[in-house]
Structure 1
Amino acid sequence: MHADRHDDGFPLAILAKAPVPGRVKTRLTPTFAPEAAARLHEALLRQTLAVALAATPAHRIVLWTGLEHDHPLFVEFAERHGIGLRPQPEGDLGLRMFTALEAMGAPGLLVGSDCPVLTAQLLANCHAALAHHDGVLLPAEDGGYALVGLRKPRQAFFTDIDWGSDQVLAQTLARADSLGWRIAQPAKVWDVDRPADVARWQGQDTSS
Protein backbone atom coordinates (compact mmCIF):
# COMPACT_ATOMS: atom_id res chain seq x y z
CA MET A 1 0.00 0.00 0.00
CA HIS A 2 1.44 3.33 -1.04
CA ALA A 3 0.13 6.49 0.58
CA ASP A 4 0.60 8.43 -2.64
CA ARG A 5 -1.70 6.30 -4.81
CA HIS A 6 -3.88 8.74 -6.72
CA ASP A 7 -7.13 7.03 -5.73
CA ASP A 8 -6.41 7.66 -2.05
CA GLY A 9 -8.15 10.45 -0.24
CA PHE A 10 -10.60 13.00 -1.64
CA PRO A 11 -10.39 16.43 -3.25
CA LEU A 12 -10.25 19.26 -0.73
CA ALA A 13 -10.23 22.98 -1.46
CA ILE A 14 -9.30 25.70 1.05
CA LEU A 15 -10.27 29.33 0.46
CA ALA A 16 -7.37 31.31 1.90
CA LYS A 17 -6.62 35.01 2.01
CA ALA A 18 -3.00 36.06 2.40
CA PRO A 19 -2.28 37.31 5.95
CA VAL A 20 -2.06 40.99 4.96
CA PRO A 21 -2.44 43.35 7.95
CA GLY A 22 -5.55 45.47 7.62
CA ARG A 23 -7.09 43.16 5.00
CA VAL A 24 -7.89 40.06 7.08
CA LYS A 25 -9.83 39.51 10.31
CA THR A 26 -10.83 43.18 10.35
CA ARG A 27 -13.63 42.46 12.84
CA LEU A 28 -10.93 41.70 15.43
CA THR A 29 -9.78 45.32 15.42
CA PRO A 30 -9.42 47.51 17.42
CA THR A 31 -9.15 44.84 20.14
CA PHE A 32 -6.25 43.42 18.13
CA ALA A 33 -3.85 45.53 16.10
CA PRO A 34 -3.95 44.78 12.34
CA GLU A 35 -0.60 42.97 12.57
CA ALA A 36 -1.82 40.79 15.44
CA ALA A 37 -5.05 40.02 13.59
CA ALA A 38 -3.01 38.97 10.55
CA ARG A 39 -0.88 36.67 12.72
CA LEU A 40 -4.04 35.07 14.11
CA HIS A 41 -5.30 34.60 10.56
CA GLU A 42 -2.02 32.90 9.61
CA ALA A 43 -2.19 30.63 12.66
CA LEU A 44 -5.74 29.58 11.73
CA LEU A 45 -4.67 28.93 8.16
CA ARG A 46 -1.73 26.79 9.28
CA GLN A 47 -4.04 24.80 11.57
CA THR A 48 -6.58 24.33 8.77
CA LEU A 49 -3.89 23.04 6.43
CA ALA A 50 -2.56 20.65 9.07
CA VAL A 51 -6.04 19.18 9.52
CA ALA A 52 -6.45 18.94 5.75
CA LEU A 53 -3.15 17.08 5.37
CA ALA A 54 -4.23 14.66 8.09
CA ALA A 55 -7.46 13.96 6.19
CA THR A 56 -6.34 13.59 2.57
CA PRO A 57 -3.06 13.46 0.59
CA ALA A 58 -1.35 16.72 -0.34
CA HIS A 59 -1.85 16.18 -4.07
CA ARG A 60 -5.63 16.25 -3.50
CA ILE A 61 -5.50 19.65 -1.74
CA VAL A 62 -5.78 22.99 -3.54
CA LEU A 63 -5.33 26.30 -1.74
CA TRP A 64 -7.40 28.93 -3.54
CA THR A 65 -5.54 32.13 -2.77
CA GLY A 66 -6.81 35.65 -2.21
CA LEU A 67 -5.32 39.16 -1.80
CA GLU A 68 -1.71 38.26 -2.68
CA HIS A 69 -1.48 35.08 -4.73
CA ASP A 70 2.32 34.89 -4.47
CA HIS A 71 2.49 35.61 -0.74
CA PRO A 72 5.50 33.91 0.91
CA LEU A 73 3.18 31.88 3.15
CA PHE A 74 1.48 30.30 0.13
CA VAL A 75 4.84 29.60 -1.51
CA GLU A 76 6.02 27.96 1.71
CA PHE A 77 2.91 25.74 1.84
CA ALA A 78 3.32 24.63 -1.77
CA GLU A 79 7.05 23.92 -1.49
CA ARG A 80 6.91 22.23 1.91
CA HIS A 81 3.78 20.12 1.44
CA GLY A 82 3.25 19.78 -2.30
CA ILE A 83 -0.27 21.18 -2.29
CA GLY A 84 -1.72 23.03 -5.28
CA LEU A 85 -2.17 26.80 -5.47
CA ARG A 86 -4.78 28.51 -7.61
CA PRO A 87 -5.95 32.14 -7.53
CA GLN A 88 -9.54 32.72 -6.50
CA PRO A 89 -11.53 34.19 -9.40
CA GLU A 90 -13.10 37.62 -9.26
CA GLY A 91 -16.69 37.53 -8.06
CA ASP A 92 -18.76 36.94 -4.96
CA LEU A 93 -18.18 34.16 -2.46
CA GLY A 94 -20.70 31.92 -4.18
CA LEU A 95 -18.90 32.07 -7.51
CA ARG A 96 -15.53 31.45 -5.85
CA MET A 97 -16.86 28.39 -4.00
CA PHE A 98 -18.59 27.00 -7.09
CA THR A 99 -15.40 27.45 -9.15
CA ALA A 100 -13.30 25.57 -6.58
CA LEU A 101 -15.76 22.68 -6.31
CA GLU A 102 -16.29 22.36 -10.05
CA ALA A 103 -12.54 22.32 -10.68
CA MET A 104 -12.20 19.10 -8.63
CA GLY A 105 -13.77 16.86 -11.24
CA ALA A 106 -15.00 14.54 -8.48
CA PRO A 107 -17.10 14.96 -5.33
CA GLY A 108 -15.03 16.87 -2.80
CA LEU A 109 -15.08 19.36 0.05
CA LEU A 110 -14.40 23.07 0.41
CA VAL A 111 -13.53 24.83 3.66
CA GLY A 112 -12.53 28.30 4.73
CA SER A 113 -9.58 28.97 6.99
CA ASP A 114 -11.18 30.31 10.15
CA CYS A 115 -12.88 27.28 11.71
CA PRO A 116 -10.62 25.96 14.50
CA VAL A 117 -12.81 22.96 15.37
CA LEU A 118 -12.38 21.08 12.11
CA THR A 119 -10.74 17.68 12.52
CA ALA A 120 -9.52 15.11 10.05
CA GLN A 121 -12.25 12.72 11.22
CA LEU A 122 -14.95 15.34 10.70
CA LEU A 123 -13.68 15.99 7.18
CA ALA A 124 -13.73 12.26 6.47
CA ASN A 125 -17.28 11.99 7.82
CA CYS A 126 -18.39 14.90 5.63
CA HIS A 127 -16.92 13.33 2.52
CA ALA A 128 -18.48 9.97 3.36
CA ALA A 129 -21.88 11.68 3.57
CA LEU A 130 -21.64 12.52 -0.14
CA ALA A 131 -22.14 8.83 -0.93
CA HIS A 132 -25.75 9.13 0.24
CA HIS A 133 -26.54 12.85 -0.12
CA ASP A 134 -26.38 15.47 -2.86
CA GLY A 135 -24.42 17.78 -0.60
CA VAL A 136 -22.95 18.26 2.83
CA LEU A 137 -22.70 21.39 5.00
CA LEU A 138 -21.21 22.14 8.39
CA PRO A 139 -23.53 24.80 9.85
CA ALA A 140 -21.81 27.54 11.82
CA GLU A 141 -23.19 29.19 14.92
CA ASP A 142 -23.28 32.57 13.16
CA GLY A 143 -25.85 31.42 10.61
CA GLY A 144 -23.40 30.56 7.87
CA TYR A 145 -21.45 27.39 7.20
CA ALA A 146 -17.78 26.40 7.46
CA LEU A 147 -17.72 23.55 4.92
CA VAL A 148 -19.56 22.65 1.75
CA GLY A 149 -19.32 19.57 -0.41
CA LEU A 150 -21.43 18.72 -3.46
CA ARG A 151 -21.72 15.53 -5.44
CA LYS A 152 -22.42 17.49 -8.65
CA PRO A 153 -21.70 21.22 -8.22
CA ARG A 154 -24.27 23.58 -9.71
CA GLN A 155 -23.97 27.34 -9.72
CA ALA A 156 -27.66 27.69 -8.84
CA PHE A 157 -26.85 26.36 -5.36
CA PHE A 158 -24.79 29.51 -4.69
CA THR A 159 -27.01 32.20 -6.24
CA ASP A 160 -29.22 34.76 -4.47
CA ILE A 161 -27.47 34.26 -1.11
CA ASP A 162 -26.82 37.21 1.21
CA TRP A 163 -23.15 36.38 1.84
CA GLY A 164 -21.86 37.62 5.17
CA SER A 165 -25.30 37.69 6.75
CA ASP A 166 -26.82 35.39 9.37
CA GLN A 167 -29.20 34.07 6.68
CA VAL A 168 -26.61 32.22 4.59
CA LEU A 169 -27.38 28.74 5.91
CA ALA A 170 -31.16 29.18 5.81
CA GLN A 171 -31.07 30.57 2.28
CA THR A 172 -28.69 27.82 1.15
CA LEU A 173 -30.93 25.08 2.54
CA ALA A 174 -33.87 26.71 0.76
CA ARG A 175 -31.86 26.58 -2.49
CA ALA A 176 -31.16 22.90 -1.86
CA ASP A 177 -34.90 22.28 -1.41
CA SER A 178 -35.66 24.06 -4.68
CA LEU A 179 -33.13 21.81 -6.43
CA GLY A 180 -34.56 18.70 -4.77
CA TRP A 181 -31.25 18.02 -3.05
CA ARG A 182 -30.70 16.11 0.18
CA ILE A 183 -28.12 17.83 2.38
CA ALA A 184 -26.22 16.19 5.25
CA GLN A 185 -25.23 18.31 8.26
CA PRO A 186 -22.95 16.08 10.38
CA ALA A 187 -22.03 18.68 13.01
CA LYS A 188 -22.39 22.32 14.05
CA VAL A 189 -19.20 24.37 14.30
CA TRP A 190 -18.01 27.92 14.96
CA ASP A 191 -15.61 30.36 13.33
CA VAL A 192 -13.10 32.87 14.65
CA ASP A 193 -14.54 36.23 13.59
CA ARG A 194 -14.67 38.41 16.71
CA PRO A 195 -12.45 38.99 19.77
CA ALA A 196 -14.57 36.67 21.93
CA ASP A 197 -13.98 33.88 19.40
CA VAL A 198 -10.22 34.30 19.77
CA ALA A 199 -10.49 33.78 23.52
CA ARG A 200 -12.64 30.71 22.94
CA TRP A 201 -10.15 29.31 20.43
CA GLN A 202 -7.06 29.98 22.55
CA GLY A 203 -8.78 28.58 25.62
CA GLN A 204 -9.42 25.23 23.95
CA ASP A 205 -7.82 22.15 25.46
CA THR A 206 -5.41 21.26 22.68
CA SER A 207 -4.34 18.04 24.38
CA SER A 208 -7.56 16.22 23.49
Structure 2
Amino acid sequence: MNTPETTVAPLTVVVIAKECLPGKVKTRLTPAMTPEDAARVAAGSLDDTLRTVAALPVARRVLFFDGSVVPDAAAGFDVLHQPGGGLDERLGHLFDAMTGPTLLVGMDTPQLSADDLAPVLHDPERDAWFGPAEDGGFWALYLREPDGTHLRGVPMSRDDTGAVQRARLVDAGLDVGTLATLLDVDTVPDARRVAELVPDSAFAAALAASLTSPLTTATTPLTSGGTR
Protein backbone atom coordinates (compact mmCIF):
# COMPACT_ATOMS: atom_id res chain seq x y z
CA MET A 1 0.00 0.00 0.00
CA ASN A 2 1.42 3.35 -1.02
CA THR A 3 1.51 6.17 1.53
CA PRO A 4 0.93 9.74 0.36
CA GLU A 5 4.02 11.88 0.04
CA THR A 6 4.38 14.77 2.46
CA THR A 7 4.45 18.13 0.74
CA VAL A 8 7.58 20.05 1.65
CA ALA A 9 6.91 23.74 2.23
CA PRO A 10 9.36 25.93 0.29
CA LEU A 11 10.66 27.89 3.25
CA THR A 12 13.40 28.06 5.88
CA VAL A 13 12.60 27.85 9.59
CA VAL A 14 15.11 29.56 11.87
CA VAL A 15 15.38 29.02 15.63
CA ILE A 16 17.13 31.88 17.43
CA ALA A 17 18.88 30.68 20.58
CA LYS A 18 21.78 31.17 22.91
CA GLU A 19 23.95 28.53 24.52
CA CYS A 20 22.34 27.44 27.78
CA LEU A 21 25.06 28.40 30.24
CA PRO A 22 24.43 29.09 33.96
CA GLY A 23 24.02 32.79 34.60
CA LYS A 24 23.57 33.54 30.90
CA VAL A 25 20.04 32.24 30.22
CA LYS A 26 16.70 32.43 32.02
CA THR A 27 18.12 34.64 34.76
CA ARG A 28 14.61 35.66 35.79
CA LEU A 29 14.06 32.10 37.00
CA THR A 30 16.56 32.81 39.78
CA PRO A 31 16.63 32.93 42.75
CA ALA A 32 13.68 30.52 42.66
CA MET A 33 16.21 28.04 41.29
CA THR A 34 19.96 27.95 40.92
CA PRO A 35 21.60 29.34 37.76
CA GLU A 36 22.53 25.74 36.88
CA ASP A 37 18.93 24.59 37.15
CA ALA A 38 17.71 27.60 35.17
CA ALA A 39 20.19 26.69 32.42
CA ARG A 40 18.86 23.11 32.37
CA VAL A 41 15.30 24.41 32.06
CA ALA A 42 16.38 26.64 29.17
CA ALA A 43 18.12 23.68 27.52
CA GLY A 44 14.92 21.65 27.79
CA SER A 45 12.96 24.47 26.19
CA LEU A 46 15.46 24.75 23.35
CA ASP A 47 15.53 21.00 22.75
CA ASP A 48 11.73 20.83 22.59
CA THR A 49 11.66 23.71 20.11
CA LEU A 50 14.36 22.17 17.92
CA ARG A 51 12.56 18.82 17.85
CA THR A 52 9.30 20.48 16.82
CA VAL A 53 11.03 22.34 14.00
CA ALA A 54 12.99 19.24 12.96
CA ALA A 55 9.71 17.41 12.37
CA LEU A 56 8.25 20.11 10.12
CA PRO A 57 8.04 19.38 6.37
CA VAL A 58 10.13 22.36 5.29
CA ALA A 59 13.01 22.81 2.88
CA ARG A 60 15.63 24.05 5.34
CA ARG A 61 16.24 24.50 9.07
CA VAL A 62 18.70 26.96 10.62
CA LEU A 63 19.92 27.54 14.17
CA PHE A 64 20.79 31.23 14.65
CA PHE A 65 23.12 30.65 17.55
CA ASP A 66 24.91 32.67 20.21
CA GLY A 67 27.42 30.21 21.64
CA SER A 68 30.03 27.61 20.80
CA VAL A 69 28.56 24.20 21.77
CA VAL A 70 25.65 23.40 19.46
CA PRO A 71 22.97 21.21 21.10
CA ASP A 72 22.56 17.64 19.85
CA ALA A 73 18.92 18.34 19.01
CA ALA A 74 20.11 20.69 16.24
CA ALA A 75 21.42 17.79 14.15
CA GLY A 76 20.44 18.48 10.54
CA PHE A 77 20.21 22.24 11.08
CA ASP A 78 22.52 24.68 9.39
CA VAL A 79 24.19 26.86 12.03
CA LEU A 80 24.50 30.61 11.59
CA HIS A 81 26.32 32.36 14.41
CA GLN A 82 24.85 35.60 15.73
CA PRO A 83 26.87 38.79 15.28
CA GLY A 84 27.26 41.42 17.98
CA GLY A 85 24.87 44.30 18.53
CA GLY A 86 21.37 44.74 19.84
CA LEU A 87 18.65 42.20 19.16
CA ASP A 88 17.10 44.31 16.39
CA GLU A 89 20.47 44.49 14.63
CA ARG A 90 21.02 40.74 14.98
CA LEU A 91 17.56 39.99 13.61
CA GLY A 92 18.16 42.43 10.79
CA HIS A 93 21.41 40.60 10.00
CA LEU A 94 19.57 37.28 9.98
CA PHE A 95 16.85 38.35 7.57
CA ASP A 96 19.40 39.98 5.28
CA ALA A 97 21.38 36.73 5.24
CA MET A 98 18.38 34.59 4.31
CA THR A 99 17.24 33.94 0.75
CA GLY A 100 13.67 32.91 0.10
CA PRO A 101 10.71 32.68 2.50
CA THR A 102 11.91 32.59 6.12
CA LEU A 103 10.13 31.87 9.41
CA LEU A 104 11.84 32.84 12.67
CA VAL A 105 10.85 31.29 16.00
CA GLY A 106 12.31 31.77 19.48
CA MET A 107 13.51 29.22 22.04
CA ASP A 108 11.24 30.36 24.90
CA THR A 109 8.02 28.64 23.80
CA PRO A 110 8.58 24.90 24.35
CA GLN A 111 4.82 24.38 23.95
CA LEU A 112 5.21 25.30 20.26
CA SER A 113 3.49 22.75 18.02
CA ALA A 114 3.15 22.07 14.33
CA ASP A 115 -0.44 23.30 14.57
CA ASP A 116 0.79 26.70 15.74
CA LEU A 117 2.88 27.01 12.58
CA ALA A 118 0.41 25.37 10.18
CA PRO A 119 -0.98 28.67 8.81
CA VAL A 120 2.48 29.64 7.56
CA LEU A 121 3.13 26.27 5.94
CA HIS A 122 -0.31 26.31 4.32
CA ASP A 123 0.04 29.87 3.00
CA PRO A 124 3.72 30.71 2.42
CA GLU A 125 2.73 33.12 -0.35
CA ARG A 126 1.48 35.63 2.19
CA ASP A 127 3.85 38.58 2.65
CA ALA A 128 4.27 38.09 6.39
CA TRP A 129 3.05 36.16 9.42
CA PHE A 130 3.32 37.48 12.96
CA GLY A 131 3.14 35.46 16.19
CA PRO A 132 2.33 37.68 19.20
CA ALA A 133 3.48 36.78 22.70
CA GLU A 134 1.45 37.38 25.85
CA ASP A 135 4.08 39.75 27.26
CA GLY A 136 3.75 42.14 24.31
CA GLY A 137 6.64 40.75 22.30
CA PHE A 138 6.53 38.19 19.52
CA TRP A 139 7.50 34.52 19.26
CA ALA A 140 7.44 34.14 15.49
CA LEU A 141 7.98 36.27 12.41
CA TYR A 142 7.70 35.18 8.78
CA LEU A 143 8.77 37.16 5.74
CA ARG A 144 8.21 35.84 2.23
CA GLU A 145 10.91 38.24 1.06
CA PRO A 146 13.45 38.57 3.90
CA ASP A 147 14.56 42.14 4.53
CA GLY A 148 16.38 43.24 7.66
CA THR A 149 15.15 46.81 7.38
CA HIS A 150 11.77 45.58 8.67
CA LEU A 151 13.41 44.83 12.04
CA ARG A 152 16.26 47.28 12.56
CA GLY A 153 15.27 50.05 14.93
CA VAL A 154 12.37 48.17 16.54
CA PRO A 155 12.75 48.54 20.34
CA MET A 156 13.15 45.06 21.80
CA SER A 157 12.24 43.56 25.20
CA ARG A 158 9.43 46.03 25.86
CA ASP A 159 5.73 45.49 26.35
CA ASP A 160 5.05 47.27 23.04
CA THR A 161 7.73 45.48 20.99
CA GLY A 162 5.18 43.30 19.21
CA ALA A 163 2.89 46.20 18.41
CA VAL A 164 5.75 48.26 17.02
CA GLN A 165 7.08 45.35 14.97
CA ARG A 166 3.70 44.50 13.49
CA ALA A 167 3.05 48.16 12.68
CA ARG A 168 6.42 48.31 10.92
CA LEU A 169 5.35 45.45 8.65
CA VAL A 170 1.91 46.91 7.95
CA ASP A 171 3.34 50.36 7.27
CA ALA A 172 5.67 48.77 4.71
CA GLY A 173 2.58 47.64 2.81
CA LEU A 174 2.85 43.96 3.72
CA ASP A 175 -0.17 41.68 4.05
CA VAL A 176 0.36 40.37 7.60
CA GLY A 177 -1.36 37.26 8.95
CA THR A 178 -1.61 36.67 12.69
CA LEU A 179 -0.69 33.42 14.43
CA ALA A 180 -1.90 32.25 17.83
CA THR A 181 -0.74 34.16 20.90
CA LEU A 182 1.74 32.11 22.93
CA LEU A 183 3.31 32.56 26.36
CA ASP A 184 7.07 33.10 26.52
CA VAL A 185 8.77 31.53 29.52
CA ASP A 186 10.38 34.34 31.50
CA THR A 187 9.37 33.75 35.13
CA VAL A 188 8.60 30.76 37.33
CA PRO A 189 4.80 31.30 37.07
CA ASP A 190 5.20 31.41 33.26
CA ALA A 191 7.20 28.19 33.36
CA ARG A 192 4.61 26.41 35.45
CA ARG A 193 1.79 27.44 33.10
CA VAL A 194 3.70 26.23 30.05
CA ALA A 195 4.73 22.95 31.72
CA GLU A 196 1.06 22.19 32.31
CA LEU A 197 0.46 22.52 28.57
CA VAL A 198 3.27 20.08 27.67
CA PRO A 199 3.67 17.76 30.69
CA ASP A 200 5.65 15.15 28.73
CA SER A 201 8.22 17.60 27.38
CA ALA A 202 11.92 17.88 28.21
CA PHE A 203 11.14 21.37 29.49
CA ALA A 204 8.52 20.14 31.97
CA ALA A 205 10.84 17.42 33.23
CA ALA A 206 13.70 19.89 33.75
CA LEU A 207 11.40 22.34 35.51
CA ALA A 208 10.00 19.70 37.86
CA ALA A 209 13.47 18.51 38.78
CA SER A 210 14.70 22.07 39.34
CA LEU A 211 11.84 23.19 41.57
CA THR A 212 12.10 20.10 43.77
CA SER A 213 15.88 19.89 44.06
CA PRO A 214 17.08 20.04 47.71
CA LEU A 215 19.40 22.97 47.06
CA THR A 216 16.64 25.03 45.46
CA THR A 217 13.96 24.38 48.03
CA ALA A 218 16.31 24.80 50.97
CA THR A 219 17.88 28.08 49.94
CA THR A 220 15.50 30.05 47.74
CA PRO A 221 11.81 30.97 47.74
CA LEU A 222 9.66 30.33 44.67
CA THR A 223 9.73 33.89 43.42
CA SER A 224 11.16 35.43 40.29
CA GLY A 225 13.61 38.24 39.87
CA GLY A 226 16.69 39.41 38.00
CA THR A 227 16.87 40.38 34.38
CA ARG A 228 16.21 38.51 31.21
- What TM-score results when the alignment is normalised by the length of structure 1? 0.85
Q: RMSD of the TM alignment (CA)?
A: 2.5
Q: Distance in 1 between matches of 2:152 and 2:91?
A: 11
Aligned match of 1:177: 170
**Amino acid in the other structure paired with 1:88:** Q
Equivalent residue for 1:108, pick from 102, 105, 119: 102
Shift of 1:136: 0.6
Measure the CA separation in 1 of the matches of 2:194 and 2:166: 28
Q: For residues 24-63 of structure 1, what are the structure 2 equivalents within 5 Å?
A: 24-56=25-57, 60-63=60-63
Q: Distance in 2 between matches of 1:205 and 1:8?
A: 26
Distance in 2 of aligned mates of 1:42 and 1:147: 19
Residue 146 of structure 2 is matched in structure 1 by 153
Cα offset for 1:206? 4.0
- 1:120 aligns with 114
Change (3 A) 1:127 1:93: farther
Question: Pick from 56, 73, 76: which aligns with 2:72?
Answer: 76
Q: Would you say the 8 A contact 1:192–1:201 is kept in 2?
A: yes
**Using the alignment, how far apart are the partners of 1:90 and 1:128 within structure 2?**
34
Cα distance in 2 between the residues matched to 1:44 and 1:198: 10
Aligned length: 198
- Higher alpha-carbon deviation: 17-26 or 81-90: 81-90
Is the contact made by 1:55 and 1:123 (CA closer than 8 Å) also made in structure 2?
no
**Contact (CA 8 Å) 2:169, 2:176: kept in 1 or not?**
yes
CA distance in 2, matches of 1:8, 1:101: 21
1:168 equivalent to 2:164? Answer: no
The list of structure 1 runs, each at least 4 consecutive aligned residues, that deviate by more than 6 angstroms after superposition, is none
Equivalent in 194, 203, 206 of residue 187 of structure 2: 194
* More off after superposition, 91-100 vs 148-157: 91-100
Cα distance in 1 for residues equivalent to 2:61 and 2:20: 20
Partner of 2:223: none
State the identity as a percent: 33
2:50 alignment partner, SS class: helix
1:205 to partner: Cα distance: 5.1
| Deviation string, structure 1 residues 126-182 (Cα, Å, up to 9, x no partner) | 233431x32111100000100001011222211332200001111112212321112
Match for 1:184: what amino acid? G
Asked if structure 2 preserves the Cα contact closer than 8 Å seen for 1:129 and 1:136, the reply is no
Structure 1: runs of 5+ lacking an equivalent: none
Aligned twin of 1:138: 131
SS of the residue corresponding to residue 93 of structure 2 reads helix
Gaps of 5+ in 2: 201-228
8 A contact 2:96–2:148 mirrored in 1: no
